[in-house]
Amino acid sequence: MSDNFRRNTELRMFHSILEINFGQRVVVTGLGIVSPLGVGVHHVWQRLLDGKTGTVPLLGDDYKDIPCKVAAFVQRGNDPGCLDRHLEDADFKKMSLTSIYALIAANEALKDAKWCPVSTDALEKTGVAVGTGMVDLMDIVTTGNKLHHSGYSKISPFFVPRILSNMPAGHIAIKYGFKGPNHSVSTACATGLHAIGDAYNFIKNKYASVMVCGSSEAVISPLSIAGFCRMRALSTHFNSKPEEASRPFDSERDGFVMGEGAGILVLESLDHAIERGAKIYAEILGYGLSGDAYHITSPGNGAFRSMRQALSLSNIDTSQIGYINAHATSTPLGDSIELKAIHELFKEHSEILTVSSTKGATGHLLGAAGSVEAIFTILACYSESIPPNINLKCLDSEWPVNVAGNHCETWPHQVKEKRIALTNSFGFGGTNASLVFSNF
């Protein structure tokens, strides 16, 4: 009997005991990313740790009357880590950019997981849960103008499929033949974490053995920038210094920077991953969600309850958390409320764990934010490196919470035995999500 066979047999027996007591365990075996820091997990992660940013000026007459002049686009070009290298098969006629980003990230995640099933059984046990926060408004405006000026015959038959929010999930399932659950989530800026959390529950409840999950968003346009600007949600004070505009927790923060991208994960039941000898990045320990029932845009107290539920369902004590990837978008109100919720839940341990928001580097990817930040949280658990709070120069907090500086940090030594982290996403309408990951 080989050592590898014996080890896998022992792991399966151990897992069977745990499953009887705690239910199906779920692990992460593949990661894929498209972001303003680039395309490809390794490339993006290194740039994040190195303190790079993806925010650039908004150029052109279409933006001249809009107060915000910065955004975080996915980098174009043919250099390593740039988007154009991945667009060979992109069909812009049939698909939105949101779907294209999702397909690129899914391709990387599936290759990373080495999951390419061909049997009917395996395809039927593989599902997709990918969401998006909002559709491309300019696609709708352009098509509406075409109908008004040129008539019915000029409307593309692909217009409706391009703007359906479930189409990123649909395109992934169609491309790879996945016939398990086909699910889409649209919960504003909490979309990504809700999609991953739902996929986690699909596996725990045995609707699938493998789930491809996450979120995608590509809606930067004059109309979307103008709309968020009218809400006074976007940064306007750093138009001449775009790389400094997104600055979570900093005393000079004045609004978020709109970004775009996609984050896709491959989740598996632990026994399925062990059976095929998959590399395991992390385990999902818990998923919490809540509603504020307070205001359409201003945050309420749901952050506290979402985090508390995620920890409760994972049987994790607050003292075991080493890192929190915060939702903090660089808005004056939201960042402060999240730090308050963290302190209220973690109490004195909030001075030991480390908190950072990666939006200083990427901007706010709206519906895609949660899944991209989940990947960053997983990599922090996997590597022991905690991403910095880029552009944090003067911390604005009345709460004794250990907020990371603007350089990469190592995992807190007080909680290093098991690296457990939490990531948050909160959306307009008062919808909240939290996920707990640990190294495996």
Through-space distance between the first and last CA atoms of the chain, rounded to whole angstroms = 25
Q: Per-residue pLDDT tens, the chain, 440 aa: give them.
A: 455 555 555 555 544 444 444 469 999 999 999 999 999 999 999 999 999 999 999 999 999 999 999 999 999 999 999 999 999 888 999 999 999 999 999 999 999 999 999 999 999 999 999 999 999 999 999 999 999 999 999 999 999 999 999 999 999 999 999 999 999 999 999 999 999 999 999 999 999 999 999 999 999 999 999 999 999 999 999 999 999 999 999 999 999 999 999 999 999 999 999 999 999 999 999 999 999 999 998 888 899 999 999 999 999 999 999 999 999 999 999 999 999 999 999 999 999 999 999 999 999 999 999 999 999 999 999 999 999 999 999 999 999 999 999 999 999 999 888 999 999 999 999 999 999 999 99
The active-site residue out of 86, 183, 189, 213 is 189
CB-count exposure of residue 16 (10 Å: 0-12, 13-18, 19+): exposed
Distance, in Å, from the CA atom of 374 to the CA atom of 371, rounded to the nearest integer, reads 5
Distance, in Å, from the CA atom of 350 to the CA atom of 217, rounded to the nearest integer, reads 32
Per-residue model confidence (pLDDT) at position 135: 93
The yes-or-no answer on residue 364 being catalytic is yes
Q: How many CB atoms lie within 10 A of CB 90?
A: 17
The yes-or-no answer on residue 327 being catalytic is yes
Strand 182-183 to strand 126-131: parallel, antiparallel, or no bridges (unpaired)?
parallel
Angle between helices 137-150 and 222-230 (to 10 degrees): 120
The yes-or-no answer on residue 189 being catalytic is yes
The active-site residue out of 171, 343, 349, 364 is 364
pTM, to two decimals: 0.94
Distance, in Å, from the CA atom of 24 to the CA atom of 205, rounded to the nearest integer, reads 7
Distance, in Å, from the CA atom of 23 to the CA atom of 18, rounded to the nearest integer, reads 7
The active-site residue out of 171, 194, 327, 343 is 327
The residue with tokens 């996450």 is 214
